[in-house]
């Protein structure tokens, strides 16, 4: 197990009707709030109206940054920064999924940065002071509600990059599983794949002796596998939505990564798909993951896949090790298909002639991942297998 400095300061208010804490929690930071949200879903399902009522009743002033894109764009961040500066915003409140929360984080950090906001995305070291951030979660997927990361896209340069800062962790997040009852099946599926991918990125690593982290990872994987499909079949099953929602936060808040080396593999590859084609993040991950697993399976990674097969998929431990590993990969692939997710890059509009460009872009900072470091050529091979 590696040394680590653990700090997960975000408070979570979890459960039905927890939005009732909103006014009191916001007032700890001020009375001038920037709301950040995406499309119309929060208006259709009543969450927007509920929040506005609470703000008005409690005389909390608010401004709005709406229309945040599924892969939030730097120009939207810039608009948010302008609103914050002009109106002396005290706290940025995202309502939505990871896109809205990531956008809110970037706005909060860029607000205090004098230069081009893209600078703080490209180089997290440039982040100094950050406005307080809070969130009301409406989609179980990215875990942005409890972590310090934000992913922002730049359409001018076809770049999608992650940035991070301790003060970008939300001060509090409200997780009401009933808010995800109206999430469509395809988004529930993509969200589940995203959560599972966050766990895979931490689980499939070579750090010695991080036993407890790996068993905790398996616990979250089992939860996703059980409840992802259940939430798709029964969208208003509270138990399923609650377990998925809490999984989304715990998968990436640090619980699984503290004590491990965790340079990620599949996310950097997927970011290129989203940057070039605006593919839904979780869909890209679900397509790439089994092909990545097949590609990196060798003598040095075999035991990880054996543990995965036995502990997560209950595959008979009496079988030959490679058989266990291959069965586990197949089960993973089949599970994503059972959620209704595509299994080929060609199914989501990606063109074969862009694979090489995207592979080179994914590896432009060096090898991808630390489980089995991948060159641009390795990434291209995985893209081709997934095509």
List of residues contacting its own copies (CB under 8 A): 1-9, 11-16, 18, 21, 208-209, 211-212, 215-216, 218-220, 222-223, 226-227, 238-239, 242-243, 246-247, 250, 255, 258-259
Nearer CB in complex with its own copies: 13/322: 13
**218 or 270: CB nearest its own copies:** 218
Least distance from its own copies to the Cβ atom of residue 21, Å: 8
Minimum gap (Å) between residue 52 Cβ and its own copies:
23
Between residues 10 and 138, which has the closer beta carbon with respect to its own copies? 10
Tokens of 326: 């291959």
Query: Cβ 317 to its own copies, closest distance in Å?
Result: 9
Comparison of 180 and 265: residue with beta carbon closer to its own copies: 180
Query: In 3D, which of 172, 173, 148 has the Cα closest to residue 162?
Result: 148
Q: Which long-range contacts (CB under 8 A, 24 or more apart) does 345-352 make?
A: 345/273, 345/287, 345/383, 345/386, 345/387, 346/387, 347/287, 348/273, 348/277, 348/279, 348/283, 348/284, 348/287, 349/277, 349/279, 350/273, 350/276, 350/277, 350/279, 350/387, 352/387
- Residue nearer to its own copies on the CB measure, 11 or 85: 11
3-state DSSP of 305-321: HHHHHHHHHCCCCCCCH
Q: Alpha-carbon torsion 361, 366, 370, 375, what sign?
A: positive
**Contacts with 155 (C-beta within 8 Å, 6 or more apart), sequence order:** 73, 75
> At its nearest, how many Å lie between its own copies and the CB of residue 349?
35
Question: What minimum distance in Å lies between the beta carbon of 41 and its own copies?
Answer: 24
């Amino acid at each position: 197990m590696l040394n680590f400095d653990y700090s997960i300061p975000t408070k979570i208010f979890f459960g039905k009707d927890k939005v009732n804490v909103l006014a009191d929690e916001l007032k700890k930071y001020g009375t001038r709030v920037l709301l950040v949200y995406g499309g119309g879903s929060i208006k259709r399902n009543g969450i927007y109206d509920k929040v506005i009522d609470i703000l008005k009743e409690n005389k909390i002033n608010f401004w709005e940054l709406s229309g945040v894109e599924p892969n939030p764009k730097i120009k939207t961040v810039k608009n948010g920064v302008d609103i914050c500066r002009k109106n002396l915003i005290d706290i940025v409140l995202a309502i939505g999924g990871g896109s809205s929360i990531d956008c809110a984080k970037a706005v909060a950090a860029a607000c205090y940065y004098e230069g081009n906001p893209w600078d703080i995305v490209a180089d997290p070291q440039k982040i100094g002071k950050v406005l307080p951030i809070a969130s009301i979660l409406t989609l179980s997927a990215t875990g942005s509600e409890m972590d310090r990361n934000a992913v922002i896209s730049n359409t001018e340069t076809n770049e999608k990059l992650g940035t991070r800062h301790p003060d970008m962790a939300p001060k509090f997040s409200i997780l009401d599983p009933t808010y995800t009852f109206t999430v469509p099946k395809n988004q529930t599926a993509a969200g589940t794949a995203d959560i599972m991918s966050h766990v895979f990125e931490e689980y499939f690593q070579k750090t010695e002796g991080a036993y407890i982290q790996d068993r905790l990872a398996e616990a979250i994987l089992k939860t996703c596998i059980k409840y992802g499909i259940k939430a798709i079949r029964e969208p208003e099953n509270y138990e399923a939505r609650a377990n998925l929602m809490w999984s989304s936060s715990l998968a990436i808040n640090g619980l699984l990564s503290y004590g491990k080396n965790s340079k990620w593999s599949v996310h950097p590859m997927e970011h290129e798909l989203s940057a070039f084609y605006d593919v839904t993040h979780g869909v890209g991950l679900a397509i790439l993951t089994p092909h990545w697993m097949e590609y990196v399976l060798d003598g040095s990674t075999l035991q990880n896949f054996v543990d995965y097969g036995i502990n997560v998929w209950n595959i008979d431990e009496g079988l030959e090790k490679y058989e266990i590993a291959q069965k586990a990969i197949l089960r993973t692939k089949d599970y994503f298909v059972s959620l209704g997710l595509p299994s080929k890059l060609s199914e989501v509009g990606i063109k074969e002639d862009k694979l090489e460009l995207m592979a080179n872009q994914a590896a432009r900072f060096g090898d991808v991942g630390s489980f089995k470091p991948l060159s641009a050529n390795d990434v291209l091979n995985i893209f081709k297998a997934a095509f």
